[in-house]
Amino acid sequence: MPASVDTTQLPAHTTGKAAVLAKGHAAEHPLKLYGSWFCPFVQRAWMVLHEKRIPYQYVEINPYNKDPDFLALNPRGLVPTLAVEGEKPLYESMVVCEYLNEAYPNENANGGSLFPIDVYQRARCRLWIDHIEKKIVPGFYRFIQHTPEKEYSIEDARANFLGHIKTLVREMESNNGPWFLGQSFSLVDIALAPWAKRLFLIDHYKPGGVGIPAAGDEEEVWARWRTWFDAITSRSSVQSTWSDDDQYIKAYKRYAEDTTQSEVAKATRKGEKLP
Ligand SMILES: N[C@@H](CCC(=O)N[C@@H](CS)C(=O)NCC(=O)O)C(=O)O
């Protein structure tokens, strides 16, 4: 495979708080999270491991290298990949998150699951995770990969992205707590957290920034967003799995300039469904 920005320009390791966490989970363990410090999909799985105090080993890899050993674990060649003792590995971040949530039911410091007990409420969580997967996450990449050469405008990318955020925010519980479900922290919050944490990259790289109004405009939606955003970015599992901000600025330059050959970026460029 020819050298690309993804294999030659990407800092290789966790830094900051994520480096401390990775070091604490470097010892051999049958449950292994193969991850990349910059990857938002990995951060979801890493958050669940941390939230539920699950014992695991963190293994840093560059998924763009497609080492045969890695492809043997996950033929899709993507992180997160989870090695499970005595079983074939699992992949796909939300599948991994649901597996960890169900396989380790009693380890949560909050005493419970990251999904509601009520079957309808669980389905509703999955519905809004689906909205995050199909609308918000693709909208994030369409926005950050915007360049003046694109056939769509940055204003269109921004309006589209913010529209999908607003749709989710209107579904958030409005009483008793900051989370999607109100008091209970859940996989819906985890599903979106990594991209919320990466919004500053759009502010850094794109003219006009993310464009969330400071106060006043559509205040009932954006006040609820700010409550959620402040809570999620303060959450220990988000902070502990986060490297230094300046490293993300380096890592996402290839998205902002639309030069990355990542599968996500290629799909975004072609207007296809994300991998
Ligand atoms: N749908 C997958 C997406 C995972 C994904 O795209 N991971 C990226 C890193 S952020 C990756 O492994 N990229 C390797 C590549 O694009 O070749 C999931 O939810 O786990």
pLDDT score of 106: 64
Which residue ranges have their beta carbon within 6 Å of ligand 1? 36, 39, 41, 63-64, 77-80, 92-93, 262-264, 275
* Per-residue pLDDT in tens (0 to 9) along the chain, 275 residues: 456 899 888 889 999 999 999 999 999 999 999 999 999 999 999 999 999 999 999 999 999 999 999 999 999 999 999 999 999 999 999 999 999 999 997 655 445 799 999 999 999 999 999 999 999 999 999 999 999 999 999 999 999 999 999 999 999 998 889 999 999 999 999 999 999 999 999 999 999 999 998 877 888 899 999 999 999 999 999 999 999 999 999 999 999 999 999 999 999 999 999 99
User: Domains in the chain, please, with CATH?
Assistant: 5-103 (3.40.30.10), 119-270 (1.20.1050.10)
In this structure, which amino acid lies at residue 105? P
Q: What is the pTM of this model?
A: 0.97
Q: Chain-centre distance of CA 119, in angstroms?
A: 25
Please state the atom number of ligand 1 nearest to the C-alpha of residue 261.
Answer: 16
Work out which ligand 1 atom sits closest to the CA atom of 66: 17
| Structural tokens at position 66 | 């497609």
**What's CA 152's distance to the chain center, in Å?**
25
Which of 262, 270, 272 most suits a substitution to test ligand 1, by most atoms within 8 Å of the C-beta? 262
Residue in 263, 266, 272 to alter for ligand 1 test, most ligand atoms within 8 A of Cβ: 263
Tell me the two tokens of residue 247. 């490293």
Locate the DSSP E strands across 138-265.
none
Cα angle: 261, vertex 63, 40; to 5 degrees: 85
Q: How far apart are CA 170 and CA 159, in angstroms?
A: 16
Q: Are strands 32-35 and 57-60 parallel, antiparallel or unpaired?
A: parallel
Which residues are annotated as catalytic?
39
Find tokens 């294999």 and name the residue. 7
Q: Is the dihedral of CA 67, 261, 195, 239 positive or negative?
A: positive
78 neighbors 62 (Cβ within 8 angstroms)? no
Centre of ligand 1 from the C-alpha of residue 270, in Å: 16
The reported pLDDT for the residue numbered 171 is: 98
User: What is the pLDDT at residue 4?
Assistant: 85
**155 CA → ligand 1 middle, Å:** 27
Give, in order, the Cα–Cα distances in Å from 26 to each of 30, 55, 91, 266.
12, 11, 20, 32
- Look at residues 212, 238, 227, 214 and name the one whose alpha carbon lies nearest to residue 182: 227
